[in-house]
Amino acid sequence: MFGLSKKPKAETTAFSDFMRTASSREKKRVYGKVLTKAIERQNDVMKRVEVERQHC
């Protein structure tokens, strides 16, 4: 074509490999673990905020 060049291919990562090749069941299992951990971390943040408010 006239002056059009192909984009360079992006490097593959473990995450992109997982997203392309994992089964739906595997993805759901990982998503569940990630969400559980995120909820735990958010609850920890909320507890720390509550403790700080009580000391003010």
Q: What is the pLDDT along the chain (56 residues), one digit of tens a residue?
A: 566 778 888 889 999 999 999 999 999 999 999 999 999 999 999 999 999 999 87
The pair of structure tokens assigned to 20 is 């392309």
Q: Give the dihedral sign, CA 44/47/52/53.
A: positive
Residue 3: predicted pLDDT: 66
Output the pLDDT for position 4.
74
Number of domains in the chain: 1
39 inside domain:
yes
Cβ within 8 Å of residue 3, ≥6 positions away:
none
What's the CA angle centered on 36, arms 18 and 14, to 5 degrees? 15
Q: Would residue 29 count as lying in a domain?
A: yes
- Please tell me the pTM assigned to this model: 0.65
DSSP H helical ranges for 7-23: 14-21
Q: How far apart are CA 27 and CA 18, in angstroms?
A: 8
* Domain assignment present for 31: yes
30 occurs within a structural domain? yes
